[in-house]
Chains A and B, each alone.
Chain A
Amino acid sequence: MEDISLHSKKRSIRVFDFVLLLIVGLGMVFAGHFVISRIFAGNLDNLSRNKSFLLNELNLELTGNPARDLELVKAEREALDVEFGKYNRNINELISHIDLKEKDILFLNIVEAYLSDTQALQTTFNKLEYNGDTGELLYYVVYEQNKIPEKLSPLEIPNSVVVNISKTDEIEFSDYVLKLVNLQVGE
């Protein structure tokens, strides 16, 4: 009788089983891929839902492809950066314009303060010159003969302002004393 060994020492696997294993393995991989893609899609949906206000405001529509959406969002942010820079520049221009305007107003306040001399009987404006940085005011002050103060008495002005009284002439009348004052503001 021929002796047949059913337990060959050389391990082998049927092709059918092999193909089955291959299909199951690949199936698991693709199922995993599908699950992961669903998770990412869910994340993107959540993100677009959370940022729906922003998307509406900017009129953006996500494609669902993260790489393409990333490019889209980057481009939009760059556009906003440009807009930010524009407004920043405009605000700086506005600030420098307002600073200049403050100097104009300060000069006007100084002129008004000196023309409203508290000790004088009368002040008479003669000439005013101003170029944005420096200004000059020429005016007469009239005092009573016996009530001439030692110095001019303008209304209150900010201390930080440099005011030079460069030239004064004096004319005496019987009841009044008249002074010509040249006032220079700025350096």
Chain B
Amino acid sequence: MAESENKNITLISPKYKKRAKKTLYRLDKKAISAKTAIIVLLCVILPTFGYFIAFYAYTGLTSVENLTREFNELENTFKSVQQLKQVYNNTVDKLVKLSKTDEIAARLDLTSQPGEYNDIKYKAEPEEMLPLVNMLFTDPGIKINSIVLRSNLGFPVLPETRLESGVMLELSVNYTISRQIQ
């Protein structure tokens, strides 16, 4: 009897007494080999780390760097455009202020719209004609394609002549009014 009882008794060192009493759950009861566990852990964590940390950090850093560089280039381009725009607008403004295309057009009985004006004839006394010719030559909004100015006097009036000359000047001009300077 004592011998058969002894057969069913398992002796445990007092050191492991607590552990032996511990309630075992389903996951506690099963075990896998350490080698398999390490391989599975590495197989799961390394790719996750690679994708969510290494790849994400690399792409993110590259994107932020590219974005910063692109922003700096955008800023430089924007400044260049603004400077160019300012220079262009200031220059055009100054030229527009100097331009008297309206006055010229009014004298020649034409419009001052941009475009080509060909075969324009005008006849006037020198006092009236010379300022007009001067304006045609100096107006920044007008490009002279060709101009012919003739005096109706075939000979010069000598200094002692007191008679009125009756000189008339004939103007024939082709010009273009600029689209930019308006």
Contact = CB atoms under 8 A, between A and B. Distances in A.
B153 A124 contact: yes
Contacts of A73: 67, 70-71, 74
A32 B49 CA distance: 9
Nearest to B137: A108
A147 interface: no
> Chain A interface mostly helix, strand, loop or mixed?
helix
A37 B138 CA distance: 65
Contacts, number: 204
Contact of A12 (B13, B31, B71, B151): B31
Contacts of A4: 10
Interface residues of A, number: 74
Given A16-B28, A88-B84, A124 B180 contact: no
Given A1-B11, A73-B70, A44 B92 contact: no
B40 interface: yes
Contacts of A132: 143-146
Given A2-B10, A87-B81, A98-B140, A29 B60 contact: no
A127 B148 CA distance: 7
A54 B137 contact: no
A15 B25 CA distance: 11
Interface stretch (A76-84, A151-159, A160-168): A76-84
B33 interface: yes
A107 interface: yes
A104 B10 contact: no
A175 to B, nearest CB: 8
Interface string B100-121: 0000000000000000000000
Nearest to A76: B74
Nearest to B27: A16
B149 interface: yes
Interface in B60-82: 60-61, 63-64, 66-68, 70-71, 73-75, 77-78, 80-81
11 contacts: A15-B32, A26-B48, A29-B48, A33-B56, A70-B67, A77-B77, A80-B78, A87-B81, A97-B178, A121-B159, A128-B149
Interface of A: 1-2, 4, 6, 10-16, 18-19, 21-22, 25-26, 29-30, 32-33, 36-37, 40, 43-44, 47, 51, 54, 57-58, 66-67, 69-70, 73-74, 76-77, 80-81, 83-84, 87-88, 90-91, 93-94, 97-98, 100-101, 104-105, 107-108, 121-122, 124-132, 140, 142, 173, 175-176, 178
The 10 closest A-B pairs by CB, nearest first: A66-B63, A124-B156, A140-B156, A16-B27, A11-B34, A108-B137, A33-B52, A12-B31, A128-B149, A25-B45
Interface of B: 6, 9-11, 13, 16, 25, 27-28, 30-35, 37, 40-41, 44-45, 48-49, 52-53, 56-57, 60-61, 63-64, 66-68, 70-71, 73-75, 77-78, 80-81, 84-85, 87-88, 91-92, 95, 126, 133-134, 137-138, 140, 143-151, 153, 155-160, 178, 180-181
